[in-house]
Chain A
């Protein structure tokens, strides 16, 4: 559902009017605060620095009333505070701000005057017509342009009269702003039901010598304001030699209301150049509710190639069952581009009737169309199992294999055994790989994976040795309780090949339900290499998946108890690094007591501590308990950057320094921690000059490296 565009009636007007209304009935709704207003007025009247007055203005935008307008108005001539003042003056309802802005406009000039005129426009102050009319004649083109746009925003008859008279202004930039104002006026009139007046004004702009974009805007308005009578003008744009106007035609063709335009666009296809017709077809297809499908189908069937390609593609969105037969013909066309486009569209054509038609055509299909229909059955997942089962017995290899693949996409659990039989014992050796691919596709698609796994497990028992591995792999893809149990059994069987396959698949399992199975296999597996594989799989689960911190720490401990060497133990330290928490920090600290792991565990502890520090978690106490001695750290200077581009980050690093040589940052990564990237696309370093316990040291760190200050010698 695309929303109706109400751009013609600008929300600005509605909003401002409503704001004005709500201000008078604020007793029924939420009120502004007179008390807060007083506080801010006091700041404006004080000797407070400009930044405080700026904030006061901002707050008065919410709580100000006519009481503060005088104080705000005084700031309109202040180059620093004028913009802040206008934030409040634009927002406060009532006539006082309008009067203040009008009065200020009398004495200001340059940008300050432009700002005030802009605010008058935003407030749509109808009492400003005279002053804006005068300012429209200003020598300063920026002032005149601001006045023109403000008049456009006011948009009443008087404003339009002034603007019309100024369309002949000799200055191009002012004329352009006047035209902008005229278009705003016309838009408002159209929204108010004055379509004829709007058309006249749009057309007046169109006839004026202006920058092309203004003409584009007026032409669009003129077409839409004419409603049904705007079609000839729209078609004129589609025939224009001007690229911008042709583009406008394509744009408006999509937003033009009603269905008459669809017929006109269809007719236009026969006269437009092929390049343009290709774009017009796309515009037609974007009008899904009213498009003349027959015209698009006709363009798809014959004619210049660019138009055919565009039309074929368009049918994928707007075509129907009537498109199937001609597209099938094109899909076997000798022209490869056309054939590919037609195939792609056939796969996407919307509607159940399309599926019904394809299924009905399949049993009697012949020649090139037969494998194509089979392929479509698979792509569109059409239920046509009997016809596909017949096709897998075809003497034509291409037909057989297309049918197997289509079965993979469509077969139900009831007929899965057909694919299993083909995959583990096909009549044709040529079809084995295809059948296996189809079985995998079908198996992972089954909604009831437990039932699917039961079928596969049953087949496993009877399958020849070579096929058992395949079935175990597919069970791994299917997942679930039954698959886990079957793989566990295989991994603990007496058959070395099944042990290998079972432990391999389990070792790559990608959900936590395998954790107890892997732990058991790691303890009781039939051979060391498979126990080792299971242990690695178990650790991998701890590393990869979300779980409570304590559960992860428990997994780390259980894995650690089974580790046979430091290589395996270091994998557990990886878990701590990747999944930092207070629990994994405790675990890493614990491993610091294992002599052969001390160095790695210490490094891990610091990494985890830094990551936790970045999340605002205080780790100082734990580190102190772990034996990291407290030291006095003073940061002398810190710079981050590359080459001559260095950012002084001393204050940030100082703030993060504690009584440890580790500096934990406030965010992940140096750029985020140091307020941005000082040298984009360049390798950067962090250099720190510091003192530890009074001794001076200096260290350099590669971008995003752990920051551990070496003890000065």
Chain B
């Protein structure tokens, strides 16, 4: 199939430096920053003041994307790990040639600061929703890494709280701001592929990522690692250094394998989000089936199928998506390339090929929206809908049977076990 498809990269794509590409694709809804005096020499009073919370591996990458922007000043870092606090401070201070980046252990101190406009939340997923809610209630705009929520209830509360507080929220699903993914979604959304029949998302596996209650180890000094704060809203367990991988800790629902799972949510929060964008930012599917022959099939209210699958992809890189309509299809992945069923779908347009998963454009989109108060590409509503689809798929996965979801009541239909998995109590004293 792949070999018969039109290999667009060869025929049509321009290879363009990232910076040039950024100039071409960003700022879709706002006036040029130069017109507001926001390029180059931005007056200190006009800069957005940013704080970062939980800056680990991905967070460091995100931080780099923020630091590229001339209209922000990164003022403070908060992390429960001393080594990370120090590393980020050095990175920021080196960038600015100062020693002004503040360090906090308790994120509430950072959120209490009146000078900070927005926060980058890149903790592990255990904290994402709880901390985003706290930030919104503290009047901060939020760029939050994904997965943003641990269950369906958190997804809904995230959506509602962001609206209630009037804050700007951008989920760290940066693929919405990459040209080829955006184009692929546009083709589907605008009917160029005909009536949509199937959309495909790649989960990062469908197995559990356990992070349970491991044997107690000697707890480090609080200054080095604040274990209580690291645990945060997750139910109590004693210190064990194997749990310090925040990327996996309590990822994805909190019930799969008794302690959380992540595969469906890990990539699903990206790929399903794109599928739903392709479907016009629709509501989540209404029916979810357990995996069969490697396919976990969900069905939208209009009959279109959302298919989670790990195999049978054209080799276009990680996090691929595929949209199949009655008259055409498109597939795209992290290589920056896409394959179309027909070159006519391109209609002569040139789509920039940007490989990898750069977040620069996504960060820029967020900052522009912080200023204009417009909605960024992956706003809270879009993130909520994508995450619900992943959580509901996880419920079907856990129960090993079909579940049906009602988008009006946001409950599973006639299914008490499934409904009880919609939410999970937070450890004291945390609340949403």
Contacts and interface: CB of A to CB of B under 8 A. Distances in A.
Interface of A: 1-3, 5, 7, 10-12, 14-15, 18-19, 22-23, 25-26, 28-32, 50-51, 54-55, 58-59, 61-63, 79-84, 86-87, 89-93, 111-112, 114-116, 118-119, 121-122, 142, 146, 149, 180, 183, 187, 211-213, 216-217, 220-221, 244, 247-248, 250-252, 254-255, 275, 278-279, 282-283, 285-286, 305-306, 309-310, 313, 317, 337, 341, 381, 409-410, 444-447, 449, 477-479, 510-513, 545-547, 645, 675-677, 680-681
13 contacts: A14-B409, A19-B416, A55-B213, A62-B420, A86-B425, A115-B427, A211-B139, A220-B164, A250-B372, A278-B36, A445-B343, A445-B346, A546-B3
Given A30-B417, A87-B425, A183-B164, A19 B411 contact: yes
A146 B429 contact: yes
A115 B429 contact: yes
A234 B57 CA distance: 42
B70 interface: no
B420 A61 contact: yes
Nearest to B388: A11
Interface string B371-382: 111110000010
Nearest to A27: B414
B137 interface: yes
B43 interface: no
A83 B232 CA distance: 11
A112 B212 CA distance: 22
A555 B425 CA distance: 58
B29 A51 contact: no
Contact of B428 (A10, A112, A513): A112
Contact of B410 (A11, A30, A275): A11
Contacts of B197: none
Contacts of A18: 409, 411, 419
Interface stretch (B175-183, B235-243, B287-295, B321-329): B235-243
A712 B24 CA distance: 58
A645 B87 CA distance: 13
Contacts of B36: 275, 278, 306
A183 to B, nearest CB: 7
B351 to A, nearest CB: 13
Max chain B C-beta neighbours (<10 A), residue from A22, A89, A92, A122: A22
B220 interface: no
Given A31-B416, A216-B139, A282-B30, A510 B10 contact: yes
B87 A83 contact: no
B34 interface: yes
A680 B56 CA distance: 8
B11 interface: yes
A149 B161 CA distance: 13
Contacts of B422: 15, 19
Contacts of A410: 348
Contacts of B282: 1, 3
Given A32-B420, A309-B31, 14 more contacts: A29-B415, A30-B415, A55-B213, A61-B421, A81-B236, A82-B428, A84-B235, A118-B430, A187-B164, A254-B373, A279-B371, A309-B35, A337-B32, A546-B3
Interface string B276-305: 000011110000000000000000000000
Main SS at interface, chain B: loop
B154 to A, nearest CB: 11
B416 A29 contact: yes
A1 B280 contact: yes
Contacts, number: 268
Contacts of B372: 250, 279, 282-283
A43 to B, nearest CB: 13
A604 B342 CA distance: 39
Main SS at interface, chain A: helix
A205 to B, nearest CB: 12
A14 to B, nearest CB: 5
A15 B153 contact: yes
Nearest to B139: A213
Contacts of B30: 282, 310, 313
Contact of B427 (A19, A83, A183, A247): A83
B418 interface: yes
Contact of A51 (B11, B166, B212, B410): B212
Contact of B414 (A29, A83, A255, A512): A29
Contacts of A381: 347-348
B245 interface: yes
A120 to B, nearest CB: 11
Given A28-B414, A62-B417, A286 B2 contact: no
Contacts of B283: 3
Given A29-B414, A445-B343, A681-B60, A22 B427 contact: no
A22 B236 contact: no
Interface of B: 2-3, 7, 9-12, 29-32, 34-36, 56-57, 60, 83, 87, 137-139, 153, 156-157, 159-160, 163-166, 212-213, 235-237, 242, 244-245, 247, 255, 258-259, 280-283, 314-315, 342-344, 346-348, 371-375, 381, 385, 401, 409-411, 413-431
A545 B4 CA distance: 12
Nearest to B313: A546
Max chain A C-beta neighbours (<10 A), residue from B159, B165, B347: B165
Contacts of B401: 30
Nearest to A79: B236
Contact of B31 (A29, A313, A449, A547): A313
Given A7-B160, A111-B429, A680 B57 contact: yes
A213 B11 contact: no
B373 A247 contact: yes
A675 B60 CA distance: 18
A118 B426 contact: yes
A108 to B, nearest CB: 10
Nearest to B164: A217
Max chain A C-beta neighbours (<10 A), residue from B31, B36, B60: B31
Given A220-B166, A445-B343, A111 B236 contact: no
Contacts of B431: 118, 121, 146, 149
Contact of B166 (A30, A32, A252, A285): A252
Contact of B373 (A62, A79, A114, A251): A251
Contact of A15 (B3, B11, B373, B411): B411
A251 B380 CA distance: 14
A26 B385 CA distance: 27
A28 B413 CA distance: 10
A283 B34 contact: no
A409 B348 contact: yes
A220 B422 CA distance: 29
Contacts of A122: 423, 425
Nearest to B83: A645
Max chain B C-beta neighbours (<10 A), residue from A11, A62, A310: A11
